[in-house]
Amino acid sequence: MNFTNGLVGILVANPAQRKYVLNQYLRHGKSGMKLFSFTPSSIDWKRRTVVGLHRSGGKWAIKRFPFPQVVYNRCYGTDPKLIGRLGAAIGDDKLFNQINQLNKLDIYNSLSRWLDDYLPETVPYSPENALRMLERHRVIYLKPFYGYQGKRVYRAELKASGEIHIGHHYFNPKTVVKTPAEFLENAQKLIGSTPYIVQRGIPIRQIDGHVFDIRSLVQKNDKGLWSVTNLVSRIAYKGSYNTSIFVKVCLSREALGKLYSPARVEEIMTSIYNVSLRTAEIIDMDTDYHLGEFSVDFALDDNAHPWIIELNGKPAKDLYRGIPNRSAVYERPIQYARYLSARKKSL
């Protein structure tokens, strides 16, 4: 079986995701490569084959394929043993986004040596660290090392009265405590045994009472080089600090235009492009993740200074529905897969 233009497998979590995910890339991609989607359980290690879903002659079909030349991992938090075995079978450098559930503390430690001016202070959670950070910054966020869609992220604010307000998703508190001991007791109930970080709270600039972020989608292109595909903004519900629960998504240029002059908008966007690409260089240099794409979430403070709030190793693609020129969001990973495939042939 010979696929002259390369055979690319997209790894997804379960059979129900195969068609939905693959269709996104087939619809927008113009790669000329053979794409199929498959799950971890569909791999036959002995026969070195994979049972996957593909589209042929306008119809969906299940077929047994040889091991693909390149694998694009869209399975969040994949078992490291499986990823290691798959990388050993096809070549580690032919499997990208191997690790896509990123450790927030590791990322902070990698980036802070170079981009400290753009990073809110972040430390591992401990009772001592939480109280020290709360006293120093007055507002802190408690986040799990490994997050997903803003779940289990808590906000704590130390008021002038000495009260500590603890919120979940919204600025209005769910709990109000009067002493540090009560705060730690409540925090422990919320986080349990899950490893957490404590992150300094940034005074986030809002649009008409809505918090918004700027998501920079960074992807490798057909030459294997990093580029910023676009900047989009998620507008949170009024009174919410969690942009994962949003009212609207729009191009960041549109959101920023409501607050700043055109010249200032260009200046902010250029800064975010530069910091995003520098982040990508550091990740490549300082980790063995082999990412082909990731996103950087920024927030602006009252001085329009951008702060890196979080990195995402599996950027949600549904976010780009209705966004102009969204084809590149889907085309770039396949272009990068073609680059990896062609490089393999030249070895």
pLDDT in tens, the chain (347 residues): 444 458 999 999 999 999 999 999 998 766 678 999 999 999 999 999 999 999 998 999 999 999 999 999 999 987 999 999 999 999 999 999 999 999 999 999 999 999 999 999 999 999 999 999 999 999 999 999 997 667 899 999 999 999 999 999 999 999 999 999 999 999 999 999 999 999 999 999 999 999 999 999 999 999 999 999 999 999 999 999 999 999 999 999 999 999 999 999 999 999 999 999 999 999 999 998 999 999 999 999 999 999 999 999 999 999 999 898 899 999 999 999 999 998 854 44
Phi, psi for 4 (deg, rounded to 5): -65, -30
Whether the CB-CB separation of 44 and 51 falls below 8 Å is answered with: yes
Same domain, 280 and 167: no
Same domain, 276 and 222: yes
Residue 32 is predicted with a pLDDT of 73
Residue 275 forms part of a structural domain: yes
**CA-to-CA distance for 20 and 7, rounded, in angstroms?**
19
**CA-to-CA distance for 139 and 239, rounded, in angstroms?**
16
Same domain, 140 and 224: no
Residue 72 is predicted with a pLDDT of 97
Residue 320 forms part of a structural domain: no
Residue 333 forms part of a structural domain: no
Residue 202 is predicted with a pLDDT of 96
Residue 334 forms part of a structural domain: no
Closest by CA position to 299, among listed 287, 291, 308, 290: 308
Which of 200, 227, 255 is where one domain is finished?
A: 200
CA dihedral 284, 287, 290, 296 (to 10 degrees): -70
Residue 29 is predicted with a pLDDT of 63
**CA-to-CA distance for 55 and 74, rounded, in angstroms?**
19
Phi, psi for 202 (deg, rounded to 5): -95, 135
Residue 4 is predicted with a pLDDT of 45
Can you give the CATH number for the domain in which 260 is found?
A: 3.30.470.20
Provide CB contacts within 8 A for 261, sequence distance 6+: none
Can you give the CATH number for the domain in which 146 is found?
A: 3.30.1490
Same domain, 239 and 290: yes
Same domain, 219 and 141: no
Q: What is the DSSP string of 31-83?
A: ---EEEEE-GGGEETTTTEEEEEEEETTEEEEEEEEPPSEEEE-STT--HHHH
Same domain, 154 and 298: no
What stretches of the chain show up as alpha helix (H) in DSSP? 15-28, 80-90, 104-115, 127-137, 180-191, 252-257, 262-286, 327-346
Same domain, 108 and 157: no
Residue 229 is predicted with a pLDDT of 97
Residue 5 is predicted with a pLDDT of 54
Same domain, 195 and 154: yes
Residue 338 forms part of a structural domain: no
Residue 210 forms part of a structural domain: yes
Residue 25 forms part of a structural domain: yes
Closest by CA position to 3, among listed 35, 30, 46, 37: 35
Instruction: Spell 191-212 as b/e; 16+ CB within 10 A means b.
Output: beeeebbbbbbbebbbeeebbb
Same domain, 240 and 130: no
Whether the CB-CB separation of 101 and 146 falls below 8 Å is answered with: yes
Same domain, 114 and 228: yes
Domain span at residue 76 reads 7-93
Residue 329 forms part of a structural domain: no
Q: In a 3-state reduction of DSSP, which class is residue 299?
A: strand
Structural domain total, the chain? 3
First to last CA, the chain: 20
Whether the CB-CB separation of 235 and 241 falls below 8 Å is answered with: no
Same domain, 306 and 237: yes
Other Cβ atoms less than 10 A from the Cβ of 225: the count is 12
The encoded tokens of residue 99 equal 């690790």
Same domain, 224 and 308: yes
**CA-to-CA distance for 31 and 6, rounded, in angstroms?**
10
**What type of residue sits at position 296?**
V
Whether the CB-CB separation of 11 and 97 falls below 8 Å is answered with: no
Instruction: Spell 245-255 as b/e; 16+ CB within 10 A means b.
Output: ebeebbebbeb
Per DSSP, 318 falls in state G
